Structure 1
Amino acid sequence: MSNDFLRRMDTKIARALSRVRLGFRAVLTALDTSPSVQLLQADGLSGEQLQAAEVFQHFGFTSAPPAGTQCIVLPLGGKSSHGVIVATEHGSYRVAALKSGEVCVYNQSGAKITLKEDKLVTVECKRLVFDVEDDIDMKAKRIRAVASEWMGLYAPEWEMGGDEDGGECEGVWRGNQHITGTSRADVDHVSGGVSLVHHVHRENDGGGPTDPPKRK
């Protein structure tokens, strides 16, 4: 096979490949989230404009990338008009302070859920709302919730204890407590070391001690 023939073949192959658009970068300019698969408009770095390009994301996860997001476009069949978006990134909002193996879900407003090393999960947000149809099971060695201004917990019935079978536990309340309804204790209520069940005191006329309080 002559060198001239090989050169002609190389030229034809190169000419054919030049008509096949390879993957390229683009910058998102507009996004339509209403269809089942999001559609975007973007400007290619080589001057190409994409119209209604499909944005493919992993099942179970969806995001609406803002304008200015960089995109990787994969032209199906080698045609830019059939391009699909397979990856997006916006350097202005990406969380950079992650260690190897850590994962963070974040948005444009700065809310973050970070899965850190040692099984530590942190949630950073302005307002946290749980909307659950059934039970919430939170089983952990330690749970700590801190609010700088206010915390509200509302339910028609509350139950707290050592375990679900009614095991004993000890609760500590630091600070003042204001109860707007009736407070009941099935066993006893001790205030300042004085038991309401076993409390006795001298009669007002200086007589002997009173009988302990009687249960109804």
Structure 2
Amino acid sequence: MNNMARLVRDQVARVMRGFRLPFRAVSARNIHGKLIGVQMEGLSGESVSGELFQHYGFSSAPQPGAEYLVVAVGGKSSHSVVVASEDGRYRLKLRDGEVSLYTDEGDYVHMKRGRVIEVVTDDLVFKVKNKVRFETPLVEMSGDQHTEGSIKADGEIADHTRAMKKDRDIYNSHDHGGGAKPSPLQ
């Protein structure tokens, strides 16, 4: 081997000694603040602290035991960032093309094939300042409905017996056996 090749090889080896390849780790605990810090254990048993990098608008705090892909910035384990996290214990079974958000408690939003979105939780609360509008030909509900305010309908309202218009017609036509019609009419 000539001198130039040996010099290049030695220089590359010197640089590589200061560089650490990405590695897998397991979550031990989170440190909540402006950024989410994580304590984790590398596969070789080493204890590593780092920062959980996340996409804008999305935030998660994985449970202990979640798996991480960790990059040591500048090759230094003391400046590690988690660039991906995974926890197969709670992940939903998906078909190709589907997407989900899920928690360890069983809550999830599942965007399924066939353009169906399923939301499963115990309580769902919307905090909306002005209005919620459903642009759909039908809204179905399997349980009771409770409304604290008024109900207004531009169309007909009906129950299992008849429509309110039919009730108005019955009321407006009664005359108590030949007396006056009700006033005012409904």
TM-score (norm 2): 0.85
- 1:41 positional shift: 0.3
Does the CA contact (< 8 Å) of 1:76 and 1:84 recur in 2? yes
Q: Which residue of 2 aligns with 1:117?
A: 113
CA distance in structure 2 between the aligned counterparts of 1:188 and 1:145, rounded to whole angstroms:
24
Equivalent positions of 1:96-115 (< 5 A) are 96=93, 98-115=94-111
Q: Distance in 1 between matches of 2:11 and 2:38?
A: 35
Q: Is 1:69 aligned with 2:66?
A: yes
Structure 1 counterpart of 2:184? 215
Matches within 5 A, 1:13-162: 13-33=12-32, 35-51=33-49, 53-96=50-93, 98-147=94-143, 151-161=144-154
C-alpha root-mean-square deviation of aligned residues, in Å?
2.4
Identity of aligned pairs, percent? 31
| 3-state secondary structure, aligned to 1:195 | helix
Residue segments in structure 1 that go unaligned for 5+ positions in a row: 162-168, 176-184, 203-208
Residue 3 of structure 1: CA displacement? 4.3
Q: Which amino acid aligns with 1:64?
A: A
Letter in 2 for 1:9: V
CA distance 1:154–1:214, change in 2 (3 Å): closer
- What is the CA-CA distance between 1:11 and the residue it aligns to? 4.2
Greater relative contact order (Cα < 8 A, sep 6+): 2
Structure 2 residue runs without a partner (length 5+): none
Q: Distance in 2 between matches of 1:123 and 1:100?
A: 19
Cα distance in 1, alignment partners of residues 6 and 180 from structure 2: 116
SS of residue in 1 equivalent to 2:16: helix
Q: Deviations over 1:21-47 (max 9, x none)?
A: 1111110101012x1110010001123
Query: What is the alpha-carbon distance in structure 2 between the residues aligned to residue 41 and residue 115 of structure 1?
Result: 32
Aligned residue in 2 for 1:189: 167
Q: Is the 8 A contact 1:188 1:197 kept in 2?
A: no
Quick check: 1:200 aligned with 2:169?
Answer: no
Q: Secondary structure at the match of 1:196?
A: helix
Alpha-carbon distance between aligned partners in 2 of 1:174 and 1:124, rounded to the nearest angstrom: 29
Q: Kindly tell me: are residues 14 and 49 of structure 1, through their superposed partners in 2, closer, same or farther at Cα, counting changes over 3 Å?
A: same
Deviation at 1:196, TM superposition (A): 1.0
Change (3 A) 1:18 1:144: farther
| CA offsets 1:35-78 (integer angstroms, 9 cap, x no match) | 11100100011232112x11111111111110001011111111
Indicate the structure with greater helix content: 2
Aligned mates of 1:189, 1:173 — CA distance in 2: 11
**8 Å contact 1:106–1:113 — kept in the other structure?**
yes
Bigger radius of gyration: 1
